[in-house]
Amino acid sequence: MRVRLRCVNCGAEYDVSYKMFMCPKCGQVLEVVFEPDELPPFEEYRRRSRMHGIWRFKELLPFKSKKPVTMGEGNTPLIRLEKLEKVIGIRRLYAKFEGANPTGSFKDRGMSLAVTIAKEVGARAVVAASTGNTAASAAAYSAKAGLKTFLVLPKGKVALGKLAQSILHGAVVVEIEDNFDAALEAVKILAKLEQFYPLNSFNPWRLEGQKTLAFEVFEDIGVPDYVIVPVGNAGNISAIWKGFKELKAFGYSQELPKMVGIQAEGASPLASAYKSGLKVPLFTDNPETIATAIRIGKPVNWLKAWKAVDESGGTFEAVPDSEIIRAQRMLAREEGIAAEPAGATSLAGLIKLASQGYFNGDEEVVIVVTGHGLKDPDSAKFHPTERIRALNVEDAVEKVVSHLGIVVKT
Ligand code: F0G
């Protein structure tokens, strides 16, 4: 196996280093390029135990480990959305439900690989900036690996479930009086110190774990026409695109999907620029959205995401918070899927694009639902609910029965 690092901007190539994250020549992010050894038939991956998590695809990962840190991450369900596909007017619509990962988000795929590397290179501690899910996942995987964990979080802007996970797994929580973008700057500085290993998505090895989502979709339904992904720091959409490109380059598949990135309107540096025909993002200092996971003004992987959308012939779109909440409700109440607000932005984007005539109706579409609804219990307050107060057993029975409008004979 031949592995190199390549700058996504200037194309400079470098020998493998697990501590080089930005191109020394131009400062942009790097990607891992590799020529695998002989690959097994795709069926072989399917035969392997789900206990191996992302390592089921070990020949497609650029890092070999005898003892990977895994919790069986990935292997998440691809769920057909039969009701929503009819309403929206799509031939076949699926949700890749990443909330079913061990810590409830897609981050676990990347964390399994990045924490394995951190352990094997002998890091003393790991560090991550986060809007919450990276934190929860880093805390869990690092606990399993026996590594000390530092998390830099924007104070007051991390959803309750994610904060609870970080605390439960014993991480040191640094609450910064600033936003995620500032937290990430702090981590970039700490990452230069020998003792710390960074677990953010400017670390290209983490994204190698996240590309396995593409392999699983391919395993279940082949290559869909569209993959729609919520975008924050812009790593995941580029990782998924890389996964599909590798399936084709290595001879497993014939086609490629179109990649569509969805941002929240108040935090849409990529979507706003793309739709205005610009070639660079419109960074913002004050991102704001109810979908706190993607409340990001300066996505570090913007160029990778931009290329994913451009090369694949997809698009970016932005959706207002009201549509995100509506999509969260539709997923929960029509299809039984609990998504946190950021996780529902892919559906909100799909609905918006469909209403603009973007699809012809004959497509097969996968929306990535990136995080579980339990992550953000406060978001339940945006949805109407029927609550009944009951004083005792008889009262509860009577009220439920009369609520349904039936008469029970005793
Ligand atoms: N959806 C959820 C639920 C997320 O937590 C994130 C990112 C995204 C989408 C966007 O993915 O950054 O790869 O474009 N959360 C990061 C975090 C920033 O710190 O947990 P991206």
For residue range 84-140, what is the model confidence (pLDDT) as tens digits? Answer: 999 999 999 999 999 999 999 999 999 999 999 999 999 999 999 999 999 999 999
Is residue 69 within 8 A of residue 82, CB to CB? The reply is no
CA of 197 to the centre of ligand 1 (A): 19
Residue 376 near residue 292 (C-beta atoms within 8 A): yes
- The atom of ligand 1 lying closest to the CA of 234 is 14
What's the CA-to-centroid distance between 268 and ligand 1, angstroms? 13
Question: For 6-147, where are the alpha helices, taking DSSP H only?
Answer: 42-47, 82-88, 107-120, 133-145
Distance 133 CA to ligand 1 centre (A): 7
Minimum CA distance residue for ligand 1 atom 15: 293
Atom 10 in ligand 1: residue holding the nearest Cα? 232
Tell how strand 13-14 and strand 2-7 pair up. Answer: antiparallel
Q: Which H or E run contains 198? A: strand 196-198
Domain regions of the chain by residue span: 78-104+207-382
- Please give the DSSP secondary-structure letter assigned to residue 294: G
CATH architecture designation of domain 78-104+207-382: 3-Layer(aba) Sandwich (3.40)
Angle between helices 302-312 and 235-249 (to 10 degrees): 50
Question: Which residue from 406, 294, 302 is spatially nearest to 339, judged by alpha carbons?
Answer: 294
Confidence of residue 410 (pLDDT cuts 50, 70, 90): low
Among left, alpha and beta (phi > 0; psi -120 to 50; other), residue 132 is left
> How far does the centroid of ligand 1 lie from the alpha carbon of residue 83, in Å?
27
Q: Is the overall model pTM greater than 0.85, yes or no?
A: yes
User: 143: which residues sit within 8 A by CB, 6+ positions away?
Assistant: 149, 169, 170, 171
At which residue do the structure tokens 């999509």 appear? Answer: 327
Query: Which atom of ligand 1 is the closest one to the Cα of 98?
Result: 3
Q: Encode pLDDT of 93-108 as tens digits.
A: 999 999 999 999 999 9
